[in-house]
Amino acid sequence: MGEGRYVLIGWKDGWHEVSRVEPDAIGLSRYYVIERVERVGRLVIERSEGEYPGLLLFDRDPMEIEWMAMVEGGDERKLGEASTYREGTRIEYHYAFERGEKSFLDTLRKKIEEALDRKGTSAKAVLSMAEEERAKTIEGIARDIPLVASKKQGDLVAFLEGILEKMG
C-alpha cells in the first residue's frame, strides 16, 4: 500500500470503492444518511443556432430568486408565477418571465460611482493599477455593492472591469 490510510466500502450490489483518508486516521467513527428535499434552480441560457444551451445552477434558495438579467443581451426579467410539472417524485416549478420594473444594472453603475467616490479614486485610475492591486480594489468595490461571483472570483473581477471600462 502507498503512504496514507484508506477506507474500503462495499455495496449490496457488489460495487466496491476505496477512499484515502487522513494519515492520522485511527478508526471509523459513525455513518449516517441525510434525507431531505433539496431544491436546485436551473437557468437555461439560449445560445446561437446549433449550439447546445448553456446551464447555470443555483442551490442558494432557488425559489427566492426575484429577478434575472442578461447583461447587454436583454432586459431584466422578474420571475412570475410558477407552474408545476411532476414526474414521479420529481417536481419542476417552471417560472414565467415577466417584464422587470427596475434596472439593477443602472443601480449597479450608480453604486460603483459612489464606491469610487468613497475611495477617492476613478474608473480610469483603477483600470490603470497593476493586476493584483486592481483585483483587490475591484473586490472591495464589489463588497460595497454588494455583489459576489456565483462560481469563480475571476468572473466577478472581469465583469466589474467591463463596467469600469465603459465608465472610463
Partner 1 sequence: MALKIVKWVGIDFGQCLMSPSSLRNPRMFGDIGKLLGKHEMIPVWIERMRRLKEKYKTYSLVKEKHREEILTFVFDHDREAYELFGQKEPELLSMAPGLREFLIWINAEGIRPSVVSELKKTLGPVGTDMITKFLIAKGIIGSFQYFITPHGKMDLATGEQFENYRGTSKESGTLYDEILKELRTQGIQPQECVMIGDKRITDIIPAKRRGLITIQYTGHIDEGPCDESDYVAESFFKVKEILERL
The binding site for partner 1 (CB under 8 A) comprises 15, 17, 42, 44, 52-55, 86-90
Is the Cα dihedral 165, 167, 157, 72 positive or negative? negative
How far is it, in rounded angstroms, from Cα 157 to Cα 131?
A: 11
Query: How many helices (DSSP H) and strands (DSSP E) are in the chain?
Result: 4, 7
Our CB check for partner 1 shows the closer of 54 and 140 to be 54
Our CB check for partner 1 shows the closer of 27 and 88 to be 88
Least Å from the CB of residue 116 to partner 1: 37
Our CB check for partner 1 shows the closer of 45 and 110 to be 45
Our CB check for partner 1 shows the closer of 61 and 87 to be 87
Our CB check for partner 1 shows the closer of 31 and 52 to be 52
Least Å from the CB of residue 128 to partner 1: 38
Report which DSSP code applies to 52. P
Are residues 76 and 104 in contact, defined by beta-carbon separation less than 8 angstroms? yes
Least Å from the CB of residue 37 to partner 1: 15
21-32 b/e (C-beta count within 10 Å ≥ 16 → b): eeeeeeeeeeee
How far is it, in rounded angstroms, from Cα 74 to Cα 43?
A: 15
**What does 58-91 look like in DSSP terms, one character per residue?**
E-SSGGG--EEE-TTTS-EEEEEEEEEEEETTEE
